[in-house]
Amino acid sequence: MKDIIQAFKKDYSERDIRAVKSPLRICPLGAHSDHQLGKVSGMTLDSSVDFVYSPSNDGYIKVRSLDFPDKEWFHLDHEMEYVPGFWGTYLRGAVQALKQDHILRKGIKGVVSGKLPIGGLSSSAAVTTAYLMALADANEIELSKMELIQYSHWVETQFIGLKNGILDQSANILSMNNQLMVMDCTTNEYELIPKGENTPEFEVIIVYSGISKQLISTDFNNRTDELKVAGWILQDLSGMDPSPSLERVHLRDIPSSVYEEYKDQLPERFRKRAAHFYTEQDRVNKGAKAWAEGNIAAFGQYMFESGESSFFQYESGIPEMKTIFDILKDSEGVYGARPSGAGYRGAVIGLVNPAYKDSIKEKMEKEYTTKHPAYKDDFAVNFSHTDDGARLVKDLEGWM
């Protein structure tokens, strides 16, 4: 945060300096379930996207990123378009989202940056939340957490065109330190489950593959459609009232008993996608119980099972991420691991015993770079603790 504040002071002479800390998130269990209205889980990290800003009376948005080239500069009255691959897209989307229901009179001047490599930790949701909170703060707009989630989700689905659910935004906004956030995406009801009293010490490992891709250019949307097709076929086989359109098919609306009865009649591709969803839902429920009991070994095993299912049933992985997963699974001191995000880019995350951090990192660096030498300069191993969700930073004096 200190470097961002110094960069802000260099760019601007404003005295009213404010900041948002918007953490990166992991999804231990519940992968690829939110867009099917299933149950998901999330935690936020002490690694974050930080945005230092000041309200601007001229109505202009002027933001610089310390991680990407170019500045974003436009007036609130302008209808800004989606530009694929451009970091400023999320800022544009945040403005458009709020303008649907609110009059924005004040712009913002700011500097933004994140800590960890982009990819797999939903930095897009984190940065969108940061922009939304800053814009709302500058314009004296009070947003509930659920409204913030919905606006952030609108940016990714309606402005950008990604067919995802609300997991990323919910984890980013609702999570609390040392607690597991479990949300039902059908009702948006959620609970924060404190870790059990006997939970052993742990840290989160994030192994970045060195590969980043825009999700919209991957099979992410195709997999979402395949889940819906699986649901449509199950509706037909079981005699359920069919959904009026594919977009309105959700596996959460189809009982697991229907899946069990008719799964063998599903074409292989759709059977595998449905198998991932229903077994993942079972893992969320079992994992929540294990977390509350402090049984991190059982919780970690469910994460390993989730990873296997993501690679082999959902078929979302890439070889580099499967290599990381296999190394973690074979490393002493790793409680559990799974690919993070959509599995087409980015990172593999896990929970580890801090006493084994050095040996895990040494093993990973040796084996991964041997197998994938092309990424040795971009690949990275990081460790984090959990933290609270997105918030305005009330006291910046210590960072000045």
- Quote the CA–CA distance of 52 and 396 in Å, as a whole number: 10
Q: Exposed, middle or buried: residue 121 (CB in 10 Å: 0-12, 13-18, 19+)?
A: buried
Marked catalytic residue, from 168, 219, 282, 378:
168
Residue 175 contacts by C-beta under 8 Å, 6 or more apart in sequence? 23, 25, 42, 43, 44, 181, 192, 386, 388, 389
Q: How many C-beta atoms surround the C-beta of residue 226 within 10 A?
A: 18
Q: Give the sign of the dihedral formed by CA 316, CA 33, CA 182, CA 291.
A: negative
Half-sphere exposure (Cβ direction) of 72: Cα atoms closer than 13 Å: 28
Known catalytic residue at 358: no
Q: Shortest CA distance to 98 belongs to which of 129, 130, 126, 135?
A: 135
Residue 236 has which token pair?
């037909």
- Quote the CA–CA distance of 207 and 222 in Å, as a whole number: 26
Active site residues: 168
